Structure 1
């Protein structure tokens, strides 16, 4: 433990942690094209990179929850607060470093990790949780769904916290935004994830929550946009911890990250 003064803090390279929710087909995966190809790694949970086949960056396909945990541990390093038998511990890090020896040396070149998507990641996590011994009743041997969803919440929070503490990289997570009707039959927009706790906890973990939606212009046509502020005209989920984003921004991640970092650097200068 040490005290970090303002000059030391200014020298530290800190990444932006961001989650972007949008309806199906709005072009969330295509946002990869607005990032630097040479320093971006896409964690492809959806096997859905058809829209960006001409993108020249690197990607890796994630098929199981164990793979999702392993790569988060590889990129983020060990968490010293955890016991040796827990995921993301020193022991876990040593295991995955040995298992993916050639792969782990590549991570130093990446400045941005693009996760596509948290919606599918939560489904993989739930499938994994439902197979764990603690999610079956001791008496009947039947599946205990309540225990499975409890384990899902723990796992997703641990995974997101592991990504959150990767200091030197930007972490961009995309997910599906769904429209629901509340008790008064009014439409409301909510992130689509397995388990209500995951969706409700995400805004407290990341720096930026952005809704990528189509907004009608005066001529009646719709324009793809980022909604970035909590209080907005349409009721979309959003949060701007940086305090430098307008309510509506251009859907370009390179420009958005540059704007956030320019303001951060100016404040410590």
Structure 2
């Protein structure tokens, strides 16, 4: 057996995907960004059931309604993790079970981009499931123990997000709601709206890109919508760009952003190219 070295040429030739999270306040048009992606190769994972803004979008969608659905779809979309044992979620055993449930995984070959809306609602489904698990009850009194439930929530959500992130040949965008808060000194800060703190703290380390869709104050005139893409931004929005290709502010168009990130195939075709 030889040392399994991956050469630079092999690494560069590998199919890679952009992994990112798009956050923003209610009503700014996060779900509407689906219109900027190629409907022929994009799969809309509609956990939020809030697809009114994209009702006429011509692409395909899935609608998981339970945490079990979310986990089964994650392993079906991302494949098995060979490091896990039979009986564990995201293992080969779990993948085989998902294939029995959903059919031949080759049906997914056409999808290059996953648009998952939203991790906020996925967290709620996960917490609901966690509340019914043994860890959510005190061993001594058998009464509900929310500390145990939230501890399990963090483990489950991070494992789910990490597994989908490892779908190496696909682009993945998680959508989340951003909350504006103030601390004890009346200073404003922002955080992801999701149950428990572990997921929000660890998510930026899981993905390559953290993009905030925000309303930016203009020097003159009305505020304008834009993507905030770099950590060092004057408004304190959560943002991160591992590619080094994005400016602090980019136009609010996910397809154009993907083109700048080196994935032009993810963008919706321009009207001129469809004729």
1:69 — aligned with what? 71
1:243 — aligned with what? 244
Describe how 1:156-171 pairs up with structure 2 within 5 A.
156-171=157-172
Distance in 2 separating the partners of 1:6 and 1:255: 28
Q: Which of the two has greater helix per residue?
A: 1
Instruction: From the superposition, tell whether residues 95 and 198 of structure 1 become closer, same or farther in structure 2 (CA, over 3 Å).
Output: same
1:135 — aligned with what? 136
Q: Specify which of 55, 58, 63 is matched with residue 57 of structure 2.
A: 55
1:43 — aligned with what? 45
2:88 — aligned with what? 86
- Structure 1 regions of 5+ residues with no counterpart? 264-269
Asked if 1:26 is matched to 2:28, the reply is yes
The runs of 4+ residues in structure 1 deviating greater than 6 Å are none
Asked if 1:219 is matched to 2:220, the reply is yes
Distance in 2 separating the partners of 1:253 and 1:9: 26
1:196-243, Cα deviation, whole Å (9 max, x unpaired): 110010010000001100112233312110000000010000000000
1:121-157, Cα deviation, whole Å (9 max, x unpaired): 0010000000112211122221111010010000011
Give 1:5 shift: 1.1
DSSP-derived class of the 2:109 partner: helix
Describe how 1:175-214 pairs up with structure 2 within 5 A.
175-214=176-215
Give me the TM-score of the superposition, normalised by structure 2: 0.93
Give 1:261 shift: 1.5
After superposition, the CA RMSD in angstroms is 1.3
Distance in 2 separating the partners of 1:106 and 1:25: 33
Distance in 2 separating the partners of 1:67 and 1:212: 28
Give me the TM-score of the superposition, normalised by structure 1: 0.95
Higher deviation after alignment, 144-153 or 212-221: 212-221
DSSP-derived class of the 1:66 partner: helix
1:136-188, Cα deviation, whole Å (9 max, x unpaired): 11222211110100100000110011011110000000100001111211111
- Structure 2 regions of 5+ residues with no counterpart? 265-275
DSSP-derived class of the 1:38 partner: coil
1:5 — aligned with what? 7
Distance in 2 separating the partners of 1:262 and 1:166: 16
2:269 — aligned with what? none
Distance in 1 separating the partners of 2:4 and 2:56: 46
Count of aligned positions: 262
